[in-house]
Amino acid sequence: MDDQLSRAFAALADPTRRDIVARLSVGDATVNELAEPFDVTVQNISKHIRVLEDAGLVSRTRDAQRRPVHFEAKVFDLMTKWIERYQREAEARYTRLDAVLDQLQQSEETNTKSEIRKSS
């Protein structure tokens, strides 16, 4: 896993930054707009946005007056792929466990039947 992906995971470990990204996934917003729902200063939100920017999760247009913050889907997709891989591996393991349990079930049923035969 490269550094950018590690930074992206670390950046999203913070609940405020998760909320900011959730808001931005709907559409671009200015720092002031992003700060509105929170009981914190605009400066505080700016700091969070810088962390998200360093992680490549958001970008800001340099020349525009409003400088809206934009959600960068590319890094997010990389993260999603990583999680999907982890989920796939876990699921593959448990599908194998399903098969083992199925064998166990069948051998127990066979044993029960032979015990019944023996006792009858």
Give contact residues for other proteins (rule: CB under 8 A): 1, 6, 8-13, 15, 18, 21-22, 25, 79-80, 82-83, 86-87, 89-94, 96-102, 104-105, 108
How many Å is the Cα radius of gyration of the chain?
A: 25
Closer CB to other proteins, 108 or 115, in the complex: 108
- Of 47, 46, 53, the closest CA to residue 8 belongs to 53
Q: Quick one: DSSP state of residue 36?
A: T
Closer CB to other proteins, 40 or 86, in the complex: 86
Q: How far is the CB of 99 from other proteins (least distance, A)?
A: 7
39 close to 50: Cβ distance less than 8 angstroms: no
- Of 42, 52, 66, 43, the closest CA to residue 20 belongs to 52
Q: How far is the CB of 32 from other proteins (least distance, A)?
A: 22
Closer CB to other proteins, 62 or 74, in the complex: 74
